[in-house]
Amino acid sequence: MPLKTAKEYIDSLRKLKLNLYLLGEKVTNPVDNPIIRPSTNAVAMTYKLAHEAESADLAATSSMLTGKPVNRFNSLFQSTEDMVKKVKLQRRLAQRTACCFQRCVGMDGINAVFSTTYEIDRKYGTPYHQRFRRWLEYVQENDLCVQGAMTDVKGQRNLAPSQQADPDMFVHIVERKSAGIVIRGAKASQTGTVNSHEMLIMPTLNLRKGDEDYAVSCAVPTDAAGVTLIYGRQSCDTRKLEAGDIDIGNYTFGAHETLTILDNVFVPWERVFMCGEAEFAIMLVERFASYHRQSYGGCKPGIGDVMIGATASLADYNGVRKAAHIRDKIAEMIHLSETLYGCGLACAYEGWQTPAGNFQDNMMLANVCKHNVTRFTYEICRLAEDIAGGILATMPSEKDFRHPVVGKYVDKYLKGVPEVPTEARYRMLSLLHAMTFGQNAISYRTESMHGAGSPMAQKIMIERETDMELKQKLARRLAGIDEREDVTG
């Protein structure tokens, strides 16, 4: 069953025995929980598109391991074109969901672990790569959803993992047994865990001598013994518990993050892909980060498409769409959003083949892509809020809009142009509210800042990836400090 349908995927989640907490209570049926379900629907869209005639070329591909059809989210990139398709797929999915669809971290992690394990084995003769291939075949065969688990909680930020007062601030190996390892720690801000079958654990930063126990990559089922998931609070989340479908803005789709606790989790050797090779942590982190920084050049422009559409619609409803300053602001939103998409595509086109055989994107351009994301999405939100007007944050509730006494006032006084019903304006404002500071805001704002690494992480990589000696040499030659080039020579 290589390509699950959306329904088969959702049904498969019902079999998981997650140890999950939400708002202080244990959740026994996450699939039908109204706060969680929108995020499940968003992941389900990644399964749905694989069966849609017009999207299947983007959402499905063939396995580099078996040649069988696989969902792109479980695939290895076999060419630069595959990475281009990844970005196009992400844009399309975001257009359909207007939020994070959560499955990219796993895809990017799969590709990074695949190439890094190959290089660890080349140096040490370890069996990680073959193990990883076997695990990935299992994932592909069952079309599982894999959650990439990288971000450690990190404790005191200026201390290395092994120097922390509490050794559990970074996930680490606490015991090596004949059948496997035992790991402990926690991963923060984990996108989509509740909707995933498997977690792919990776180290979060560069590791040095003394940090060997923190150099661990492995696969853990989300419902393994010792795993506890604590659901992250989101802006306006309890609106999902209310009657009606307007106030939540994006009724069908959302995303989520968890604080994932790994309390003495046993991992059999066949699921261990790095165990103590501290010097390879940076390779894994940088390759993953590069892939995921590219990914934002797909999903954010897709959400941007919806945000721009909502903003233009509100300008229509307010009767100001043709005003010069409104057109200029909307053009600016489009320009910023398409720049992100251009960056996402560029790092794919400039990709290269790793020794393991899969393709890696261009790290400089991927970091430029994500760094732009940390700024442009905020500017796009600012312009959207500017055009939408203050009512975006002050609208009465749907209950008031429907109320037998005050409803008529809300209907009368929140009307824009006469030909558009107030309810349409209400719904569009609510959608924009969800994306700018409501339940979907994390997908476009905070995640744009911190997801796949905070802005400074990209600046460090941009500096590291720059050949400054070359740039200075170019300048010296043209300035006449070095010998000038003879154009006729």
> Is 246 near ligand SF4 (CB under 6 A)?
no
Which among 422, 408, 301, 354 has a CA at the least distance from the CA of 80? 354
299 is an interface residue for ligand SF4 by CB under 6 A: yes
* Number of residues this chain uses to bind ligand SF4 (CB under 6 A): 12
The option from ligand SF4, Fe ion, none interacting with 296 (CB < 5 to 8 A, set by class) reads ligand SF4
Q: How far is CA 230 from CA 18, 22, 385, in A?
A: 11, 6, 32
290 forms part of the interface with ligand SF4 (CB under 6 A): no
Q: Say how far apart CA 49 and CA 73 lie, in whole Å.
A: 11
Partner residues linked to 180 by β-bridges:
268
Among 13, 49, 64, 100, binds ligand SF4 (CB under 6 A): 100
Q: Counting contacts by CB under 5 A, is residue 297 touching Fe ion?
A: no
Are 255 and 192 in contact by the 8 Å Cβ rule? The answer is yes
By CB under 6 A, name the one of 104, 113, 149, 340 that touches ligand SF4.
104
Stretch that binds ligand SF4, among 26-34, 70-78, 81-89, 293-301 (CB under 6 A): 293-301
- Does 58 bind ligand SF4 (CB under 6 A)? Our answer is no
Q: Could you please report the per-residue DSSP string of 409-461?
A: HHHHHT--STTS-HHHHHHHHHHHHHHHTSTTHHHHTHHHHHTTS-HHHHHHH
Strand 227-231 to 20-22 pairing: parallel
Q: Work out what residue 104 binds among Fe ion, ligand SF4, none; the CB cut-off runs from 5 to 8 Å by kind.
A: ligand SF4
Instruction: Tell me how far apart the alpha carbons of residues 196 and 207 are, in angstroms, rounded to a whole number.
Output: 28
- Residue 81 CB contacts under 8 Å (≥ 6 apart), including other chains: none
Cβ neighbours of 165 (radius 10 Å):
8
Distance (Å, whole) CA 322 – CA 86: 36
Residue 105 touching ligand SF4 (CB under 6 A): yes
Shortest spacing between CB 425 and Fe ion, in angstroms:
32
**How far is 147 from 193, CA to CA, in rounded Å?**
6
Interacting span for ligand SF4 (CB under 6 A) from 97-105, 121-129, 131-139, 398-406: 97-105
Stretch that binds ligand SF4, among 24-32, 33-41, 292-300, 464-472 (CB under 6 A): 292-300
Q: Which of 161, 221, 304, 451 binds ligand SF4 (CB under 6 A)?
A: 451
Considering beta carbons, is residue 215 or 255 the nearer one to ligand SF4?
255
Question: Which residues have CB under 8 Å from 93's CB, separation 6+?
Answer: 45, 46, 49, 101, 299, 302
Stretch that binds ligand SF4, among 11-19, 101-109, 274-282, 454-462 (CB under 6 A): 101-109
Cα dist. 283→165, 280, 293 in Å?
27, 5, 15
101 binds, among ligand SF4, Fe ion, none (CB under 5 to 8 A by kind): ligand SF4
Lay out the sheet containing 272-275: strands in order across. 146-149, 198-201, 216-221, 272-275
8 Å CB contact between 243 and 270: no
Tracing tokens 């999950």 back to the chain, one arrives at: 20
Decide if residue 440 touches ligand SF4 (CB under 6 A).
Answer: no
Active site positions, annotated = 100, 104, 191, 257, 292, 296, 299, 447
Q: What angle do CA 323, 327, 328 make, to 5 degrees?
A: 115
Of 2-10, 100-108, 125-133, 269-277: span binding ligand SF4 (CB under 6 A): 100-108
Residues 446-465 contacting Fe ion, CB under 5 A: 451
Could you say whether residue 253 binds ligand SF4 (CB under 6 A)? no
- Tell me how far, at minimum, the Cβ of 18 lies from ligand SF4, in Å: 19
Nearer to Fe ion, 198 or 447 (CB): 447
On whether the CB atoms of residues 84 and 41 are closer than 8 A, the answer is no
Residues 445 and 430: their CA atoms lie apart, in Å, by 17
Between 249 and 451, name the residue whose CB sits nearer to Fe ion.
Answer: 451
* Closer residue to Fe ion, CB minimum distance, 161 or 451: 451
| Residue 100 Cβ vs ligand SF4, minimum distance, rounded to whole Å | 3
Q: Rule CB under 6 A: is residue 447 a binding residue for ligand SF4?
A: yes
**CA-to-CA distance for 285 and 271, rounded, in angstroms?**
19
Among 9, 296, 401, 426, binds ligand SF4 (CB under 6 A): 296
Q: Tell me which of 61, 147, 190, 191 binds ligand SF4, using CB under 6 A.
A: 191
Based on the shown chain and the rule CB under 6 A, indicate whether residue 295 belongs to the binding site for ligand SF4.
Answer: yes
Contacts to ligand SF4 by CB under 6 A: 90, 100-102, 104-105, 191, 295-296, 299, 447, 451
Contacts to Fe ion by CB under 5 A: 451
